[in-house]
Amino acid sequence: MKRWMRPAGAPEPPYIVAFRCCFSVTKALAIPFRFSADECCQLFLDGSWLLSGPERGAPQRWYYQQGSMKVTPGEHVLVARVLCFGKEWAAYGQMSLQHGFYFEDSAGLLQTWEYQLLSDCEFRKPFPDWGTFPRISVGTGYNMELLYGHSGKWRAVEFYTDERRLFAPDLPLMRREAIQPLAKSGSVQTFSTYVCVWASYTFTGRGQAKIRWFESPYCTESFDNVLLKGDKGRRDGSFIVGNYDEFQVNGKLIWHDFWWHAGCHVEIIAEEGLSVDARFYQTGYPFPALKLNSELDQMALHTLQCCSMETFLDCPWYEQLMYIGDSRITARIIYHLFRDHRLPEKALRLFSLSQQEDGSLLSQYPSKGMQKIPSFTLIYLLMLQDYFRVHGRNPLILEMLPVAEKTGGYILRHRGTDGLLRFPDWNFIDWTADWVNGVPPSGAENCPLQWFGVLALKALAEMTGSKEWLQAAEQLQGCIHEHYYAPERGLYADDPQHQGFSEHAQVLALLADPTAAVKEALAGETLIECSIYFSFYYLEACRSAGLPELAAKRLQKWQSLSEQGLKTLPEEFVQPRSDCHAWGAHILLELPSPIQQL
């Protein structure tokens, strides 16, 4: 158990609090330390950015962060700015147990702590990037010297005992590299590519400044506030969607953002007589540099980089959530390109911590939501199998096998008397124009979901060596053939009544059995088409079944993306919500692996 600190009286969220410790040294030192925070924090030494952390985790696996600060002889102040937004206001991927801050230094120099709440600040829900942290309005009563540990009224902290176990970081520190916009047009500054950045601003003068980030402007003002979509054209429109951070300045104001922002553009509007000096620092997982030959491949790699942080992200703009379906794809890309597999390992472990009593997994985790997508539970076993095929029966696999077998039990308990699987919850398969909310019309009886069950059970058999899982997979495969196969068309239908036919059912059948009798029909039939996401499985099936012509034809759809003014790969081929979405980068799996060439 650790001694944590919090504001006296533990105010109700949302709020941001600064903890300070004044200390002095008689000689130059490098002081090692470790810290943690709930929800998260940034450290400032004598007013200068030092470190952020801890890396994002879950209640069952909360992290500490470690660092070292170099100090010269004399007086110093360390300030920790801690975010305490609570479940309603926190970013969707941010979880919490009990708000507070923990700090220890090996030299024992930092002992006396005080706090001050950020004053004259109001929060507003973000839009349209609903999954992120709130917007902020900063008034003239804000203590500009707060992060220096000066001014205002500082009070003694309240210490308490926190029982959570703190884990050492799983990952290296995220990058923090200075970057500058490439161009400026009026109030809008544009970067040379898509960026995820921490920003700092110095406002001088008097008046109001408003700041907002965006991926791309829209061609018209016709924006769907529910689907969060509009006409993006070639990403050269003039209509911007999104609300602002706002700052009232009376003389001078220094502001460091409390979370990073994403996009290609930042709009900074300052009233006359107010100047703004902006500094930007790119962040992300510190992958080694990798130069690819084509512009499209480089876009795909940059998409992967923008969606790889302290967890995988589906997209850095809207949700910043780690989904199983997305993460399996990004993990596969990392195995293909890099030797550093710490981020996929962390993802597998965190997903396992979301397991429910019935053996299912939450579709997104860490998350303050409780979303369940049965296909993603099955895909978790495929994601674990991918890792197993790279690393064998290593300690992580041994740790995850009980979770995997419990998931297998979840699958078998949802077999009907006809041998088919029927799961409750959102039976999402893929975003297609033909299906409502990504679910085939047959709902829980859809054929692609059955095939995912076969693949998941076969993955379990491979990882455990148990014939029982293989027998269960073969039984399910037989039932699928009996109920869904349409011999007159040489295809598997999406439903037992043989009313709908999709690529999805065929490619999953080929992944379960590369000799499945659907190859000719897949090439010649007009079927419901896989999205950019599900084309991962389409291309995988083409590789395993020896269909290079079909793969080449599908890859042509990516070529048009680089002609749309995009810097990264989007969520969907046509009119996407997000311009940077991790799952589109799976075309990198078509490249020769640079690891094998070393």
Structure tokens at 521: 């029909």
pLDDT single digits (tens) 180-228:
999 999 999 999 999 999 999 999 999 999 999 999 999 999 999 999 9
pTM of the complete model beyond 0.75: yes
pLDDT single digits (tens) 478-515:
999 999 999 999 999 999 999 999 999 999 999 999 98
Query: What is the Cα 218 distance to its own chain's centre?
Result: 24
Residue tagged 């309005």 (tokens): 137
User: Strand, coil or helix: what is 223?
Assistant: coil
To the question of domain 177-282 being in CATH 3.30.420, the answer is no
Going by C-alpha positions, the residue among 480, 499, 479, 475 that lies closest to residue 489 is 499
Can you say whether the dihedral through the CA atoms of 398, 399, 400, 405 is positive or negative? positive
Query: What is the Cα 106 distance to its own chain's centre?
Result: 34
Write out the residue limits of the CATH 2.60.120.260 domain(s) in the chain. Answer: 2-120+143-167
pLDDT single digits (tens) 68-123:
999 999 999 999 999 999 999 999 999 999 999 999 998 899 999 999 999 999 99
Count of residues for the chain?
598
Do 253 and 141 form a contact (C-beta atoms < 8 A)?
no
The phi, psi pair for 46, rounded to 5°, reads 50, 40
- Measured CA to CA, the distance from residue 399 to residue 216 in angstroms comes to 43
b or e along 223-232 (b: 16 or more beta carbons within 10 Å of the residue's beta carbon)?
eeeeeebbeb
- Measured CA to CA, the distance from residue 93 to residue 369 in angstroms comes to 9
Average pLDDT over residues 265-281: 97
The CA-based angle 275-276-282, given to 5 degrees, is 165
Going by C-alpha positions, the residue among 126, 185, 470 that lies closest to residue 317 is 126
pLDDT at 521 (0 to 100): 83
Going by C-alpha positions, the residue among 379, 515, 513, 524 that lies closest to residue 452 is 379
| Average pLDDT of the chain to the nearest whole number | 96
Going by C-alpha positions, the residue among 59, 55, 216 that lies closest to residue 564 is 216
Say what percent of the chain tops pLDDT 70: 99
To the question of domain 2-120+143-167 being in CATH 2.60.120.260, the answer is yes
DSSP character string of 229-296: B---TTS---B-----EEEEEEEEEEEE-SS-EEEEEEEEEE-TTEEEEEEEEE-S--PPP---SSHH
Dihedral (C-alpha) 117, 123, 126, 127: value to the nearest 10 degrees? -160
Lowest average pLDDT, out of 423-437, 515-529, 567-581, goes to 515-529
pLDDT at 598 (0 to 100): 43
Per DSSP, 61 falls in state B
Task: Tell me the CA distances in angstroms from 325 to 26, 345, 498, one per residue in order.
Answer: 54, 15, 27
The CA-based angle 366-337-548, given to 5 degrees, is 105
Strands 274-282 and 74-84: unpaired
Do 261 and 197 form a contact (C-beta atoms < 8 A)?
yes
Non-local (6+) Cβ contacts of 294 within 8 A are none
